[in-house]
Chain A
Amino acid sequence: MGASRFAGRFLIPGGVWLLLFFAVPLGIVLAISFGTTDDLGGAIYGWYPSNYSRVFDPVFLPVLARSVGYALATVALCLLIGYPVAYYIARFGGRRKHALIALVIVPSFVNYLVRTYAWVAILSDEGLANGIPHDVGLSDGGIRFLNTPWAVIGGLVYGYVAFMVLPVYGALDRMDPALIEAGKDLYGSRWQTFRHVMWPTTFQGVLAGCVLVFLPAVGDFVSAQLLGGPDTFMVGNLIQQQFFGAENWPFGAALTTVMMLFLMVWMVFYLRSAAKAAREGAAAAV
């Protein structure tokens, strides 16, 4: 097939670039994760599987568990917040639908650090969140927000909730509104209509949203760095410390590899369902 071979050549520049700068480096991370450090702290190759037993050391295991726990809490909150919002926009947004969705994305273009830093100002001891209850007389102004797990999880929700709203909105928007009317015509209660009509129809979108929030949340280190403290550090902070500070690159590489392998399961799952949806979408469009 001449056309196919002609097109095949276009795969080369981008494909080779991604091989060289994306696939090969992952291999280097794997190789160094079995290495050790020389006297000056530089990484040298070798066979030291002990880096991996150290990852699951009782000192570090709580950090891994905490990262997964925070990420799961973030996913749950994003779903609880994102689904109703996406539903509102898809069903009642009318002509303003596109504007409302664009507004969900706009905050992503304020630098993540600056946004998180604004939350530091709001949640600090003299901040807005303490000032208002104090002025109204609800508290003595002594609520501690910063350095708590909820501040870190809140920062993650704020950072990634758009990744939940967009795919759920996409699924709800594609759903025929007549399905909801039909549910009502059949005397379904609101909950029954949701449970038996909306939820199954939009489930793929919900799954996509959950994975898209979970993946970056597990690896995040900015939220814990700025809104939390040593008690709330996540695996991202641990990895960052190994490369800047502790200078134990092989251990940092082992942590990175473990995290990547753990997340790979979710990535594969997401990519497969996205590919399936694309095929079905293409088939339906024909």
Chain B
Amino acid sequence: MSVEAPVRPDAAPAPRRVRRSSDQAREFDRPRFLVGFTGLFYLFLFLPIAIVVLFSFNAERSLQVFGGFSLRWYDAFLSSESYRSSLTASIEIALVTMVVATVLGTTLAFGLVRSRGRTGGAFNVLMLVPLVTPEIVAGVSALLLFTQMGLRLSLETIMLAHITFSISYVTVVVRARLAALDPEIEAAAMDLGATRMEVMRLVILPALWPAILASGLLVFALSFDDFVLSFFTTGESPQPLPVRIYSAIRFGVTPTINAIGTLMLAISVIAIGLALALPRLFGRRESGLGVLLGEEGA
């Protein structure tokens, strides 16, 4: 999308330039309208979430009046055996999805970046289309596949569907990192007598770890939150949490939903927080957000 990226001989001067230009901008025009508009936008984004979190601690049943602090909805959630088994099911699905999709997505990324020829191009399209396929199409096609194969719908069918639509996220994130690696380092390692597998293990994988882990955690969060795919591929019991939430909402207003929503938010935020923090733990200066958004490394 960029028309021309400025050539950066080294990373150091860049931040200073950016800061100076935004200082200039601040002097000239920082339209009040924009400040207010952006503020309202963030209010719009976070108001419903604030309400979910606040009312998850409500002592009363109401979703309109806050009647004091209480943990009764968390208690209602955690003391229900069927909700607990749904929570375990969701975590299990997300973990299996994370592991399998990370392995498949990383190998696919390596194949796409380093192989030449037409197969690569075709696989590239096959990898990108799931990213822009509406979830309902994904759900319908997964449901029809499983019923035609004669599979009984269960946690395993949900896992198969989730893995299928998670591979591409891993591939996109890992590929960006892989493309930024200098192939000459690999050539040098091979000149020094390393085999291809040794280059893989000792040169490429260490450089890719932050991207692999970050995309894996992203996939965990996506799978854990997914509703549409799970809805189409779930069996009778145990059902993953979002499917349970959907049936609970259809039966009417219950504040337990707020407690579940808050807990799920906490789990996702931990996963994403780890994904953002990991590159720093690896001693790199770049931000985790940059890794996930596929920005070039410094």
Given A10-B107, A94-B22, the answer on whether A114 and B134 have CB atoms closer than 8 Å is no
A4/B52 contact (C-beta < 8 A), A84-B37, A121-B63, A204-B1 known = no
State whether the Cβ of A73 lies closer than 8 Å to any Cβ in chain B: no
Please determine whether A17 and B37 come into contact, CB atoms closer than 8 angstroms.
Answer: no
A216 to B119, CA, bound (A): 29
Say whether A21 contacts B242, CB under 8 Å.
Answer: no
Q: Which of A13, A184, A221 contacts B136 (CB 8 A)?
A: A221
The number of A-B residue pairs with CB atoms under 8 Å apart is 295
Whether A228 sits at the interface, judged by CB under 8 Å, is: no
Which of A24, A208, A281, A284 is within 8 Å of B145, CB to CB? A24
Number of interface residues, chain A, beta carbon within 8 A: 112
What residues of chain B lie closer than 8 Å to A25, measured between beta carbons? 141-142, 144-145
The binding surface of chain B is classed by DSSP as: helix
Query: Known: A17-B163, A111-B225. Is A119-B34 also a contact (CB below 8 A)?
Result: no
Tell me if B179 is interfacial: C-beta within 8 Å of chain A: yes
* B125 is an interface residue with CB less than 8 A from chain A: yes
Q: Which of B236-257 contact A (CB under 8 A)?
A: 241-242, 245-246, 249, 253, 257
- The answer to whether B116 has its CB under 8 Å from any CB of chain A is yes
A273 closest partner in B (C-beta): B1
B-contacting 9-mer, from A48-56, A142-150, A166-174: A166-174
Instruction: Digitize A177-199: 1 where CB-to-B-CB distance is under 8 Å, 0 elsewhere.
Output: 11001001000000000000000
- Binding stretch for chain A, among B69-77, B80-88, B206-214, B264-272: B264-272
* Majority-rule SS of A interface residues: helix
A61 within 8 Å of B by Cβ?
Answer: no
- Nearest residue, chain B, Cβ from A29: B141
| Interface membership of chain A positions 117-131, coded 1 if the CB is closer than 8 angstroms to chain B and 0 otherwise | 111111010111001
Counting CB contacts under 8 A, is B148 at the interface?
Answer: yes
| Contact among A13, A88, A107 for B108, CB-based, below 8 A | A13
Whether A252 pairs with B140 at a CB distance below 8 angstroms is yes
Contacts of B296 in A (CB 8 A): 285
Give the complex CA separation of A119 and B48 in angstroms: 6
Does B30 touch A at the CB level, under 8 Å? yes
**Is the CB of A102 closer than 8 A to any CB of chain B?**
yes
1/0 contact string of A70-108 vs chain B (CB within 8 Å): 000000000001001101110111110010011111110
Q: Chain B residues with Cβ under 8 A from A102's Cβ?
A: 276, 289
A29 and B232 CA atoms in complex are apart in Å by 14
B117→A4 contact, CB < 8 A:
yes
Which residues of B from 1 to 48 have beta carbons under 8 Å from A? Answer: 1-7, 19, 21-22, 24-26, 28, 30, 34-35, 37-38, 41-42, 44-48
Contact call A4/B128, Cβ cutoff below 8 A: no
> Which B residue's beta carbon lies closest to that of A267?
B132
Residue of A whose beta carbon sits closest to that of B49: A110
Q: Are B132 and A215 in contact (CB-based, < 8 A)?
A: yes
Please indicate which of the listed interface residues A110, A170, A256 has the most CB atoms of chain B within 10 Å of its own CB: A110
Contact in complex: A282, B179 (CB < 8 Å): yes
A107 to B272, CA, bound (A): 12
B127 on interface, CB distance cutoff 8 Å: yes
Q: Is the CB of B2 within 8 A of A22?
A: no
Chain A, residue nearest B113 (CB): A7
B119 adjacent to A114 (CB under 8 Å): no
Determine the residue in chain B with the shortest Cβ distance to A203.
B1
Contact A21 B160 (CB under 8 A): yes
Structural contact, A92 and B26, CB atoms closer than 8 A: yes
Contact yes or no, B137 A219, CB < 8 A: yes
Let me know if A17 and B3 touch, CB within 8 A: no
Judged by a CB distance under 8 angstroms, whether A28 is at the interface is yes
Is the CB–CB distance between A1 and B41 below 8 Å? no
Q: What CA separation (Å) do A126 and B62 show in the bound complex?
A: 10
- Contacts of B132 on A, CB cut-off 8 Å? 211-212, 215, 267, 270-271
* Residues of chain A contacted by B216 (CB below 8 angstroms): none
Closest residue of chain B to A270 (Cβ to Cβ) is: B132
Q: A273 CA to B3 CA in the complex, in Å? A: 12
User: Do B249 and A22 have beta carbons less than 8 Å apart?
Assistant: no
The answer to whether A259 has its CB under 8 Å from any CB of chain B is yes
User: Does B185 sit within 8 A of A, measured CB to CB?
Assistant: no
Q: Closest 4 CB pairs between A and B?
A: A219-B134, A14-B108, A114-B261, A7-B114
Chain A contact residues, CB within 8 Å of chain B: 1, 3-15, 17-19, 21-26, 28-29, 32, 43, 81, 84-85, 87-89, 91-95, 98, 101-107, 109-115, 117-122, 124, 126-128, 131, 158, 161, 166-167, 170-171, 174, 176-178, 181, 184, 201, 204-205, 208, 211-212, 215-216, 218-222, 226, 236, 239-240, 243, 249, 252-253, 256, 259-260, 263, 267, 270-271, 273-274, 277, 280-282, 284-285
Besides the contacts A174-B1, A253-B144, what 15 more A-B pairs have beta carbons closer than 8 Å? A1-B116, A11-B120, A21-B161, A22-B165, A26-B141, A85-B37, A87-B34, A88-B34, A92-B26, A111-B242, A111-B264, A114-B245, A114-B257, A118-B48, A267-B132
Interface pairs (23), CB distance under 8 Å: A4-B117, A7-B111, A11-B112, A14-B105, A21-B164, A84-B37, A91-B22, A107-B45, A110-B49, A111-B242, A114-B260, A121-B63, A126-B64, A127-B64, A131-B64, A174-B5, A177-B21, A177-B22, A184-B28, A215-B132, A222-B228, A271-B132, A282-B179
